[in-house]
Amino acid sequence: MATGNHYQRVIQCYVCGSDISTTASKAMCEECREERAHERSRLRYVNYKPKIDADAFIVIYDPIPPEDGGFSRGALINREEMRHMLQPVCASFTVGTKLTNVAGEIYVVARRKGGGLKLIHV
Return the pLDDT at 4: 59
User: 61 and 117 share a domain?
Assistant: yes
Tell me if 51 is assigned to some domain: no
Return the pLDDT at 102: 82
Read off the pLDDT of residues 32-76 as tens digits, 9 standing for 90 and up.
889 989 988 888 777 766 666 778 899 999 999 989 989 999 999
Q: Report the C-alpha gap between 106 and 25 in whole angstroms.
A: 61
* Number of domains the chain is built from: 2
Tell me if 69 is assigned to some domain: yes
Amino acid, single-letter form, for residue 25: S
**Domain with 27 in it:** 2-46
* CA end-to-end span of the chain: 77
Radius of gyration of the chain (CA): 28
Return the pLDDT at 99: 94
pTM of the predicted model as reported, rounded to 2 decimal places: 0.56
